[in-house]
Structure 1
Amino acid sequence: MKRDSKLSGVLHVLLHMLGMKAPATSEQLARVMGTNPVVVRRVMAGLRDQGFVTSAKGHGGGWAVACDPATVTLADIYKAVGEPTLVAMSHRTQMPHCLVEQSVNRALDGAFREAETIFQSHLAAVTLAALSADFNRRLAERGQTIEEQTHAL
């Protein structure tokens, strides 16, 4: 089963951007994420539409964080990337009049809603600033700067 890592990837990119002194190009961000610049532009366009980042074309242009990290929560970013499905499981809907299907779906729906509520509650309690502070603390423990940070173990 393929897992959806869009939220994780977007948060990863935003943390890198918060540490940059200048706007980052799609190509730079793609290298950080190990993906294609087109994928970066597609995801970043959604964040730009929500006001979390800005973009500028031309020399010196690129993507920059446009929001206050202290007021933006991970839940805000989750919503901006389209609220990817948390649970890959689902229930049957082929026979909506079947009483067995109705009973099973009702039981599963409650569990799915509860998991989603807990997840979103956790995301709402963490700001981008808090996430960035945790990253910067870990970076300092390694004795590195953002420019020296690599993805090696």
Structure 2
Amino acid sequence: MKPSSQLSDALHILLHLAQVDTPLTSDTLASAIDTNPVVLRRMMAGLREAGFVLSEKGHGGGWVMSAPIDRITLRDVHMALGSPALISLGFREDQPQCLVAQVVNESLRESMAQAEAVLLARLGEITLSALAKEFGRRRPTCGSSHSFFSHHIEDDHDPL
């Protein structure tokens, strides 16, 4: 099973939105994460419900940030996406009859729950603002004076 990139994708999009003052279309944002605009809009629904983004339809419309990035943690974004599993290990059988498999499954489930609790706590300590600052710190070393989007989006306007 392919690991989910939904949290990574959402963070990527939120950081793009945090860098601009104008709305960005679903098409533009979808191209930043190489996905379909319909998939992007589905992901954005939870972020909108959480109050992190707003969308406007029509000419000049698109997505904008609606909350300060210093108040949004990575855990908040994870929860807005429906709290998908952060750690995923498969089991030979979900409900085995074998006593050995039962012990193995229980041990793995308990360990995954403990690891996920630690990871969620850490995600609750990291804000989008911290990620944006790190991007800003690295930006001059990229060897390019292009906009934040230059490596993703080929658009007619420079959003910065």
Q: TM-score range by the shorter chain?
A: 0.7 to 0.9
Q: What runs of 5+ residues in structure 2 fail to find an aligned partner?
A: 153-160
Runs of 4+ deviating beyond 6 Å: none
Q: Does 1:8 align with 2:24?
A: no
Q: 1:7-53, CA deviations, whole angstroms, 9 ceiling, x for partnerless residues?
A: 00110111111111201000110111111111111111111011110
Alignment-derived partner of residue 131 in structure 2: 131
Which structure exhibits the higher relative contact order, with contacts defined as CA atoms closer than 8 Å and separated by 6 or more residues? 2
Indicate the RMSD between aligned Cα atoms, in angstroms.
1.9
Distance 1:32 1:145 in 2: 15
Distance 2:130 2:49 in 1: 23
TM-score normalised per structure 2: 0.84
Alignment-derived partner of residue 149 in structure 1: 150
Distance 1:82 1:51 in 2: 14
Alignment-derived partner of residue 104 in structure 1: 104
TM-score normalised per structure 1: 0.87
8 Å CA contact 1:78, 1:84 repeated in 2: yes
Report which stretch shifted further, 100-109 or 6-15. Answer: 100-109
Report which stretch shifted further, 3-12 or 140-149. Answer: 140-149
Q: 1:66-120, CA deviations, whole angstroms, 9 ceiling, x for partnerless residues?
A: 1111111000001111222222214443247x64444223311221111101211
Identical residues among aligned pairs (%): 43
Number of residue pairs matched by the alignment: 150
Q: What runs of 5+ residues in structure 1 fail to find an aligned partner?
A: none
Q: 1:99-151, CA deviations, whole angstroms, 9 ceiling, x for partnerless residues?
A: 44442233112211111012111111100101111111111333535346315
SS of structure 1 residue aligned to 2:94: coil
